[in-house]
Structure 1
């Protein structure tokens, strides 16, 4: 797969809205996802939330806004997929960037 969005869909971390006619359901992830890959991404996201200041701040901010924890973890999984693809495309190692605002708090 050459596109991170396709991998995210394949891994089941992207929610889809179920709708037909006037009915609009809640956005849910697909149950046809690659479950072993999703489990690995979930574990990686949990570790990233604990060890990366940027992702930890993102997680805390979104949960404080009232977002569901699993939704935020899926978003972190999606961010990890996009970061991996960016590093592979650029052919360079990941550099952890902490914005100046996060250093002050």
Structure 2
């Protein structure tokens, strides 16, 4: 980019100053990319040392960063006694909105851990696109009349149960070779 700017034959007012600024910005961007890569390496190194990381990462849609964030926001999954409590903390479990003789009404909770919900949402969203089993569950929920958002939340809730079972059994999720997409 800087070399292309220097090879121009037409001179405009402020061109030299703009070229200096562009060069400085390009240098700063490269430095930031190197710092991000170093932090990613540090996260991967720390993740390799955590006993639950391979189990969580085996779930479709859970990459290294989402796995690390999930472990951080759940204190290594030690704060919860059941998958229902984890789902409730993440805002994936509906709360009752009953009043008087009216019962059976549910709504989205107002108090929940928004970042945790976002992590589980992103993983479910990715899994609905990439994993045939998750896609089938998503399509089933859509056929039941749920909209896209409701179907993804239902999938996220279901995946909390699966994740809890995997952690409880200390097993990683294994998928048939035909369902694993090759990296592009």
Answer yes or no: same fold by TM over 0.5.
yes
Cα distance in structure 1, aligned partners of 2:155 and 2:162: 10
Choose between structure 1 and 2: higher strand proportion. 1
Q: Deviations over 1:36-75 (max 9, x none)?
A: 0001111011001011101101111221232122221111
Match of 1:94, SS? Answer: coil
| CA RMSD, 1 decimal | 1.6
Cα distance in structure 2, aligned partners of 1:90 and 1:60: 28
Deviation for aligned residue 1:16: 1.9
Q: What's the counterpart of residue 139 of structure 2?
A: 60
Q: What's the counterpart of residue 40 of structure 1?
A: 119
Gaps of 5+ in 2: 1-79, 177-184
Deviation for aligned residue 1:25: 7.0
Segments of 4+ moved more than 4 angstroms: none
Deviation for aligned residue 1:83: 1.2
Match of 2:98, SS? Answer: strand
Q: Taking structure 1 as the reference length, what is the TM-score of the superposition?
A: 0.82
Q: What's the counterpart of residue 149 of structure 2?
A: 70
Q: What's the counterpart of residue 89 of structure 2?
A: 10
Q: What's the counterpart of residue 98 of structure 2?
A: 19
Number of corresponding residues: 97
Q: Taking structure 2 as the reference length, what is the TM-score of the superposition?
A: 0.49
Larger Rg computed on CA atoms: 2
For the 8 Å contact 1:14–1:74, the answer to whether it is kept is: no
